[in-house]
Amino acid sequence: MTDTPKRSYDLEKRKRIMRRSLKLGHCICDPSRGCPCDIFRNDGHCPCAGERPAPKGDIPPLTTLVHNAGCASKISAADLEAILHRLKEPENPNVVVGMAASDDAGVYRLDDGTLLVQTVDVMTPCVDDPRLFGRICAANCLSDIYAMGGTPKTAVSVVGFPIETLPGDAMYEMLAGALEVFEESNVALLGGHSVKDAEIKLGFAITGTIAPEDLAEHNAAKAGDLLVLTKPLGTGVLGFSHRIGRVDDDVFAAAVETMAQQNNLAAEAMRDAGAAGCTDVTGFGLFGHLASMLRASGASAEIWAEALPALPMALEEFAEDVVPGGVERNMEYVGDDLTVEDGVSDAQKYLGFDAQTSGGLLIAVSQEQFPALAAALAERNQTAWTIGRILDGEHGAIHLRQARPADDADPVSSPCCCSEEPAPATGDCCADAPAEPSCCSSSTTSASLDAFAALMASATADGAIDAKTKELITFALVVQGRCAPCFAHHYKRAKDLGLTDAQLDEAAWLATAIGGAVVRMFYLEQKQALAKSAAPSGGCCSDSGCC
């Protein structure tokens, strides 16, 4: 055989290495293969001698190179639990949260005022672009520290890469993307470790710190707590559907946007509110992670299917019986602990089991702390949904109901956005509030709101710009800012002024051009909510909306 003319090789090295392999009857690098191997026979290269063809063409789509994408590549929770429970828990008085807790991260006491928080996470590509994959992976790994209420400080990389078959540029782009996220988060990447692997794998060991009083654990949920979720669900099914060509890039873009979003601001809001129960939602799905939280807390939960936030097209794909394997594995882990009320669709049930990549935080917050959490989330422009509550008894049980009980009082409905308190980011803002004048009207008794209403009346009146155009501008700003209560009010006002849906759609596209796919996702969610009910889900009273 002859060498490729594009590259010169060390023929003496090749002869020396192949002579050893031929003598043994096995390749010295891969004993499962003989020598000469297929690569040598077909391409004239001896990988064991360091020979490989020069990279050709572009980097292939990364998701085509792996069997399971993203956090769906995790070992199932049931298999993992069966193995880990056989291990002896190390005895160390400074271990605050260890293996037995099965929490998002381990916690070690450095001194009376400082806890060390450590975690490691590794995943396969969930998107085709290497740099974007690196960003999503870094956000996913940092999330475990945020879920504990901690502040990440350092990172160390773990890489598996088929360096003999893929150009090294792909590995560079992955690490460069992750480094961008770490720099944004003020986290120092200290180094790492890499191995040759048939599939691409990227992960990071993250170390952070936390004050003891800020520690949030998944065993801290208590009966009466409300459950708040900070990201929509559906990244697993949409990623799968995108890989097999069922959904296009525009639909998948919303999933990519939410996967790349960090949970740092949601964690800050949780600390500000003093919430002590939390976990992040990743590969085991919402119900898998919730079941772990409930078993550790000795409690059960009620989830309202209608309140579960879904990425665009996620429920539609489940309704078409597109159910990835990760859903089945997560269902096996939860098992009979889930009971489903009549009227709940299979699609809604599957959504709760969908394996998420870089999902949101699931926060258990007391009714007294809920208004503070809602305000803290709103201040940071963080979307969130109240999806259920913690109950007594039946440790680990999850009751999936279609809707929240009609007589269930919302602890935040009294300090509603129609009052002087900050508008909550979650829950049914004015669902149980008595009819009141709009917070944009001048009939309220609050002097500060009187002044604000006067400002709004002046700003939206005809002038150099006519009132309709001003309302279109305002509507675009509302969509770009992702204010759900504001959307309800300004949608109604726009329709009252005679603006058409086509005009509002164009205004929303302008907002999307500035804010990205997550803004588009918000717009579609709000329109779907309006189509279901005169009062938007998670919003304010339709007749007394907020500005």
In this predicted structure, the answer to whether residue 539 has a pLDDT above a threshold of 50 is: no
Same domain, 137 and 245: yes
The mean pLDDT value for 189-211 works out to: 90
Same domain, 455 and 384: no
Given this model, what pLDDT does residue 347 score?
A: 94
Q: C-alpha 535: how far from its chain's center?
A: 27
d(CA 69, CA 60): 15
Q: Which band of pLDDT confidence, cut at 50, 70 and 90, is reported for residue 102? A: low
Same domain, 160 and 97: yes
Domain boundary (401, 419, 434) is at 401
Q: Which residues contact 445 (CB under 8 A, 6 or more apart)?
A: none
**Secondary structure of 132-160 in the HEC alphabet?**
HHHHHHHHHHHHHHHHCCCEEEEEEEEEE
> Where is 207: in which H helix or E strand?
strand 201-210
d(CA 214, CA 148): 8
pLDDT greater at residue 12 or residue 240:
240
Domain annotation covers residue 276 = yes
pLDDT greater at residue 547 or residue 214:
214
Specify the number of domains making up the chain.
3
Q: Which long-range contacts link 52-56 to residues 24+ away (Cβ below 8 Å)?
A: 52/164, 52/165, 53/4, 53/6, 53/7, 54/6, 54/7, 55/166, 55/167, 55/168, 55/169
Neighbour-count burial for 162-193, b at 16+ CB within 10 Å, e otherwise:
ebbebbeebbebbbebbbebbeebebebeebe
Q: What is the pTM of this model?
A: 0.66
Residue 289 · residue 279 · CB < 8 Å = yes
Same domain, 238 and 184: yes
Find the helix packing angle between 517-532 and 501-515, rounded to 10°: 150
Same domain, 88 and 184: yes
Domain annotation covers residue 475 = yes
Domain annotation covers residue 406 = no
* Amino acid letter, 454: A
Strands 201-210 and 361-365: unpaired
Domain annotation covers residue 425 = no
Strands 300-304 and 398-401: parallel
Given this model, what pLDDT does residue 444 score?
A: 35
Same domain, 397 and 470: no
Phi/psi at 207 (5° precision): -120, 135
Please report the DSSP string for 367-421 in residue order: TTTHHHHHHHHHHTT---EEEEEEESSSTT-EEEESS--TT---TTSTT-TTSSS
The mean pLDDT value for 443-459 works out to: 44
Q: Which band of pLDDT confidence, cut at 50, 70 and 90, is reported for residue 314? A: very high
Domain annotation covers residue 99 = yes
Enter the tokens of residue 17: 């290495």
The mean pLDDT value for 260-273 works out to: 92
Same domain, 76 and 106: yes
Same domain, 249 and 358: yes
Identify the domain containing residue 210 by its residue range.
Answer: 71-401
Query: Any idea which of 26-40, 244-258, 466-480 has the lowest mean pLDDT?
Result: 26-40
Same domain, 145 and 196: yes
Task: Identify the CA nearest to 311 among candidates 363, 265, 266, 253.
Answer: 253
Domain annotation covers residue 539 = no
Q: Is 547 a catalytic residue?
A: no
d(CA 28, CA 284): 39
Query: Any idea which of 74-88, 132-146, 190-204 has the lowest mean pLDDT?
Result: 74-88
Domain annotation covers residue 412 = no
Q: Which of 48, 71, 278, 429 is catalytic?
A: 71
Residue 342 · residue 403 · CB < 8 Å = no
Q: Which band of pLDDT confidence, cut at 50, 70 and 90, is reported for residue 423? A: very low
* Amino acid letter, 407: D
| Number of other residues whose CB lies within 10 A of the CB of residue 154 | 16
* Amino acid letter, 348: Q
Domain annotation covers residue 217 = yes
CATH number at residue 490: 1.20.1290.10
Query: Any idea which of 57-66, 124-133, 298-307, 536-545 has the lowest mean pLDDT?
Result: 536-545
Same domain, 78 and 44: no
Task: Identify the CA nearest to 437 among candidates 450, 424, 448, 455.
Answer: 450
Q: Which band of pLDDT confidence, cut at 50, 70 and 90, is reported for residue 180? A: very high
The mean pLDDT value for 468-476 works out to: 85
Using only the alpha carbons of the chain, give its radius of gyration: 27
Enter the tokens of residue 308: 């579960």
> Where is 193: in which H helix or E strand?
strand 188-196
pLDDT greater at residue 290 or residue 102:
290
